[in-house]
Chain A
Amino acid sequence: GAVVSQHPSRVICKSGTSVKIECRSLDFQATTMFWYRQFPKKSLMLMATSNEGSKATYEQGVEKDKFLINHASLTLSTLTVTSAHPEDSSFYICSARATAGVNEQFFGPGTRLTVL
């Protein structure tokens, strides 16, 4: 089956630092990747949609300068939380959709970010 990995799985950082989270599709090419944020005991909130080689499309209310998304290849997308603050602490989950014709999204295991 299709596998999506995320790295790191957990990260603790000081307020004001930037954190990069990687999302990789291991055995398929993903033209589209999605980044979600999940607060404790809540559903997933879509942050942005990224397509390989183009700028990400951000959902309303998500700061694009705060959450930088890069989708440089068909197997890698990165989310950088810039100048992180405690309110950015959350569980970040990426998802990848394979090339045309498949409507299933495959999810990574998530990254728990804690900002002190």
Chain B
Amino acid sequence: GNSVTQMEGPVTLSEEAFLTINCTYTATGYPSLFWYVQYPGEGLQLLLKATKADDKGSNKGFEATYRKETTSFHLEKGSVQVSDSAVYFCALTTSTGNTPLVFGKGTRLSVIA
């Protein structure tokens, strides 16, 4: 079956540090890959996505590249800010029908000034 594995948190970084959150997946077929962000007390927001191999999704300084050969979709940001403190979820789907997103367990990021 489909599954997503992402690095365990929490991750604590100083402001302006480089961020990497690892995400690997197992899927049948050709999945679309997503990163969602959840700020404290809020729902999930789509951060970025990639729908095919070698695609790079980017938004708000965050980037992730769909690597089919390593089945990975690692999230990176060159310089984090305190406002980036949130929980980040990697997810995939292989269908446009009734199949819901499959989520990783989430990685909590805390950025300190």
Contacts and interface: CB of A to CB of B under 8 A. Distances in A.
B42 A104 contact: no
Contacts of B49: 104
B27 to A, nearest CB: 13
Contact-size category for B: 20 to 34
* Binding site secondary structure of chain B: loop
B96 A105 contact: no
Contact of B96 (A43, A46, A95, A102): A102
A75 interface: no
Given A103-B96, A107-B44, A110-B43, 9 more contacts: A43-B103, A43-B105, A97-B96, A102-B96, A103-B93, A103-B95, A104-B32, A105-B93, A109-B42
Q: Which 10 A-B pairs have the closest CB atoms?
A: A110-B43, A109-B43, A107-B44, A43-B105, A103-B96, A34-B100, A107-B43, A43-B106, A103-B32, A103-B93
Interface of A: 6, 32, 34, 41-44, 46, 49, 51, 57, 93, 95, 97, 100-110, 112
